[in-house]
Amino acid sequence: MRNRLCLLASIAAGAFAFNSGGELRVPARRIDTRLHESLQEETDDAQNLPSRRTFLFSAVAAVGLAGAETAMAQPEQKSKTRLGGMPNTIRSVGNVMDELQRDLMQEQWDLVAAYPAQLRSFVPVFTKFTDSAFPTDEPTDKGLRVALRYEVGRFFASVERLRQATLRKDLDDAYVAYSDMSLHFDRYMQVGGLYTYYDDIISNEKYFKGIKPSSLVYADPKKDPPDVRDLVILVKGPDMGRTGIMIGKDGSNNVYVKLDRFKGMRPIRVVSKAWVGKRLGEQDPDDVFLIPRKGNSSKV
């Protein structure tokens, strides 16, 4: 939900623009930067932001958009008949992404090679859901359609990058592609109102005030930084205390973390590597490695 509101604010603030022919112009990685900065700003300003609803209303009011509350509604609540089973079909892409993570991290290249075609088969569903969930000419619906189409485009561009990396058996580039796929799919889910729950907590850091740092057991991020596949814990920021697995790096000081499953969802976070610590001691494996392969023996 946090990403959804930031994206809507980006639309309202003019992060998206149209050329004279009516085609969308989106600066490369613009959303990525704005969202990452917004997460850091939330940490600093948590005391001044009572809720995400307040943040959204403030952002929308600043540019004169109306109907913010409508934009925050779950699309299924708008018209269950119109959407049919599309929300669950799109959520099922998350299951495919879990299986892809398992096979990629185990370097099962013959299996990884089949995923791009499987994922591309969902294109019509993404397209239909985007147009059906937010069908009106209201500014909020128009803005959300723009945001959703952007995320779909970035998602499938990363699918193609994965396909090419798989042909070369380039594991590092495949991890980059998978991380971007995961990030943009997660944003689509949040902007489209497809999450199964609403997280109203701005920051977890306040819950750790007065608690000894030793209560979180992890390796020093500077001396022993985590790498892809490592189980991690977030030691700073809005999601402090949450656990997950590191799925990629962005080439700078940021890393991608896939948080542990909660109510069927696995949110993606792009955070500073200084915020991420490798978990220590005996740990259960990430749950994707417990997914059995159909018609094949599992390999952990």
Distances (CA, A) of 271 to 92, 97, 128, 277, 288: 26, 21, 32, 12, 22
The predicted pLDDT at position 203 comes to: 82
Mean pLDDT computed over 169-179: 98
Band of residue 213 on the pLDDT scale cut at 50, 70, 90: low
- For domain 2-191, is the CATH number 1.20.120.290? yes
pLDDT surpasses 50 at 100 = yes
Q: Does residue 26 register a pLDDT over 70?
A: no
**Assigned CATH class of 205-287:** mainly beta
What's the whole-number mean pLDDT along residues 35-57?
Answer: 40
Q: What is the domain partition of the chain in residue ranges?
A: 2-191, 205-287
